[in-house]
Amino acid sequence: MLFTSYAFIGFVLVLLVLYYAVPRRFQKLILFVGNVCFYVMSGWTNLIFMGITILSTYGAARWIGNNIDAQKAYVKAHKEELSREEKKAYKAKEKKKRKLIAALAVILNVALLALVKFPNRIFLFLMPMGISFYTLMSLGYLLDVYWEKQKPEKSLFRFALFVSFFPQLVQGPISRFKDLSESLYAEHALDWKNIYYGFVRVLWGFFKKLVIADRLSVVIATISGDFDTYNGAYIFLEMFLYTIQLYADFSGGIDITIGVAQMLGVEMAENFIRPYFSKSLKEYWRRWHITMSTWFRDYLFYPISITKTMQNFSKFLRAHFGDYIGKRLPVYVASFIVWFVTGIWHGTTSNFIVWGLVNYVILMISEELEPAYAAFHEKCIPAEAKGWRVFMVLRTFTMLCFLKLFDCYQSAGEVFRAYGSAFTFAKLDELVHGGWLQLGMSLADYVVVAIGSVVILTVSLIQRPESVRDQLSRKPFALQAGVVMALFLVTLIFGAYGMGYDASQFIYNRF
């Protein structure tokens, strides 16, 4: 079910009414039924995949939790009888068992994900909605239990509610159990502030998605779909517009997700902090798709970095090549794996894999150049100088425009061909003299996109100290009502939806 469909709006309205109409102890049940309905409407086969993930991770986590409890009880009961070595050996034996169970559950779920992700005739057709997101959520939970950072959830129903919480199934965020569970499992009285704030957030998401992202999708599809016609300078236009489209699309979807959750009284993690104001790629990845970046950091990068193999590798390097290499190279190896996996997680075609590796290379080069940057700032321009900061933001944005082109084509080869073509500046004349108006958007559409982008930019600047909704809530009622009404009407009139527009899936939905 598309977030921007009438069906979804109707579904949320009915769910909200039922959620607050029933006695609070039944709210979780209503929500769970809603999750199932939402998922079934996207294809009943999806339930099988999600069911396997829920049962396997729940079962493994429960077993691990029970084993830890049993181990503690055994050690406590035999405190006097067991020697230190015996205790250690017993614990190691139990940990091995837990590791085996955790590994089996991880392998099963990764295999399921791989099965539908890797191009094949049968399972690609089944591609369950949100599998990339709920698989990472479930595995994160399982690993937290295995590392004893998280007590296992005893109730299968409650755990299933966490994994299947419908707003996050379309395109994330990748929630952590400890962050989401508290408000998800709580009983909620009808809170008008939550309803109002959530509604405005949803509206803002619709504005980004319908007014900007979906309007631009026509141009992006036209250019990327016909390289023979649209090459040369058209590629620069594509890069620039796609960068705007992706942000409007993805962050708009997340706004809808968080807004709907807020109306239900559930707090979800933020996934963006004004990413296009980043001054470097490293900073960008702290501000873009935050829940994914932190997931890969916490559940892949750190665990790889502290494996015995990596520790031994580091020791070996220190002994033979000195401390610097011994310290850096293991980090680079772990980062390489993380970025390789991040690429594959987005898609198994070569464009995504190379995209991950290009990110990796740029980040590693930046790391190595940090001392040089520091020296440059000390001697030439201070890093805090306003002009320099603006330059760095524009430089990073330009770099992102190039990087995002990997999304637009089916293989790395096609992307590099597009880069090569762009720098010939061929067809620049054609593009400037009306070519840009032959791509599926009229001049009026470009004006709407430009004004819409300025609105997003302005809101990003205004919200730095405090959310716009909080700021607005202190203004006179007429102004608040006017702003919200204007947002609604602008989205309704200028949104690219209905007959004549193909309903665009959220871009991140396909990952």
Partner 1 sequence: MKKSVILRRVVAVGLLLIFILYMLQRLLVPKYITGIVEGAFVAEYYREPDKNFDVIFVGDCEVYENFSPAELWKEYGIHSYIRGSAQQYIWQSYYLLEDTLRFHKPEVVVFNIQSLQYDESQSEAYNRMTLEGMQWSPAKVGSIRASMTEGEHFLDYVFPILRYHDRWKELTADDVKYMFKTEPVTYNGYYMRTDVLAAGDIPEGRPLENYDFGDKAWEYMDKIRALCEENDIQLVMVKAPSLYPYWYPEYEEQVEAYAAKYDLPYYNFLELQEETGVDYSTDTYDGGLHMNLSGAKKLSHYIGPILLENGAADRRDDAALSRIWDEKLVRYEEAASKKE
Per CB under 8 A, the list member of 23, 371, 434, 500 interacting with partner 1 is: 500
The binding track of 391-430 with respect to partner 1, each residue x by CB under 8 A or -, is ----------------------------------------
Stretch that binds partner 1, among 93-101, 319-327, 343-351, 488-496 (CB under 8 A): 488-496
Hunting for tokens 């916490």 — which residue is that? 298
Closest to partner 1 by CB, 204 or 406: 204
Binding mask 173-202 for partner 1 (x = CB under 8 A): -------------------x----------
- Residue 300 or residue 496: which is nearer to partner 1 going by CB? 496
Distance from the Cα of residue 261 to its chain's centroid = 16
Q: How far is the CB of 433 from partner 1 (least distance, A)?
A: 22
The size of the interface with partner 1 (CB under 8 A), counted in residues, is 20
Q: Residue 496, interface with partner 1 (CB under 8 A)?
A: yes
Least Cβ distance, residue 503 to partner 1 (angstroms)? 8
Q: Show Cβ contacts of residue 55 under 8 Å, excluding neighbours closer than 6 positions.
A: 156
Using CB under 8 A as the binding rule, the residues of this chain from 247 to 306 that contact partner 1 are none
Binds partner 1 (CB under 8 A): choice among 70, 103, 462, 489: 489
Round to whole Å and give the CA distance between 500 and 487.
23
Nearest by Cα to 135 from 56, 62, 66:
56
- Minimum CB distance to partner 1 smaller for 412 or for 441: 441
Q: Which of 120, 311, 398, 442 binds partner 1 (CB under 8 A)?
A: 442
Site for partner 1 in 4-23 (CB under 8 A): 6
Residue that has been written with the tokens 């099965």 in this structure: 115
Q: Is 156 in the site for partner 1 (CB under 8 A)?
A: no
- Residue by residue, what is the 3-state secondary structure of 274-323? CHHHCCCHHHHHHHCCHHHHHHHHHHHHHHHHCCHHHHHHHHHHHHHHCH
- Residue 498 as a binder of partner 1 (CB under 8 A): the answer is yes
CA distance 208 to 200: 12
- Does 332 bind partner 1 (CB under 8 A)? Our answer is no
Q: Does 494 bind partner 1 (CB under 8 A)?
A: yes
One residue of 119, 386, 465, 477 binding partner 1 per CB under 8 A: 477
Of the candidate residues 92, 111, 319, 499, the single one contacting partner 1 (CB under 8 A): 499
Residue corresponding to tokens 């034996």: 93
Buried b vs exposed e over 114-126: b needs ≥16 C-beta within 10 Å?
eebbeeeeebeee
Closer residue to partner 1 in complex, CB, 464/477: 477
- Given candidates 312, 381, 485, 510, which one binds partner 1 under the rule CB under 8 A? 485
Q: Which of residues 444-463 bind partner 1 (CB under 8 A)?
A: 444-445
Residue 32 or 501 having the CB closest to partner 1: 501
Give min distance, CB of 485 to partner 1, in A. Answer: 6
**What DSSP string describes 319-377?**
HHH-HHHHHHHHHHHHHHHHHHHHHHHH-SSHHHHHHHHHHHHHHHHHHHHHHHHHHHH
**Of residues 138, 169, 165, 173, the one with CA closest to residue 58:** 138
Which of residues 255 and 445 has its CB atom nearest to partner 1 in the complex?
A: 445
Q: Select from 89-97, 156-164, 464-472, 481-489 the region that touches partner 1 (CB under 8 A).
A: 481-489
Question: For 441, which DSSP code?
Answer: -
Interhelix angle 192-206/233-263, nearest 10 degrees: 160
Which CA distances in Å does 72 have to 75, 353, 425? 5, 44, 69
Among 13, 52, 369, 492, binds partner 1 (CB under 8 A): 492
Smaller CB separation from partner 1, 29 or 492:
492
Close Cβ partners of 506 (under 8 Å, ≥ 6 residues apart): 2, 3, 170, 171, 209, 249, 250, 253
| Residue 476 contacts partner 1 per CB under 8 A | no
Q: Which stretch binds partner 1 (CB under 8 A): 93-101, 283-291, 427-435, 498-506?
A: 498-506
| CA separation, residue 463 to residues 272, 290, 494 (Å) | 12, 18, 24
Point out which residues bind partner 1 (CB under 8 A): 6, 192, 442, 444-445, 477, 481, 485, 488-489, 492-501
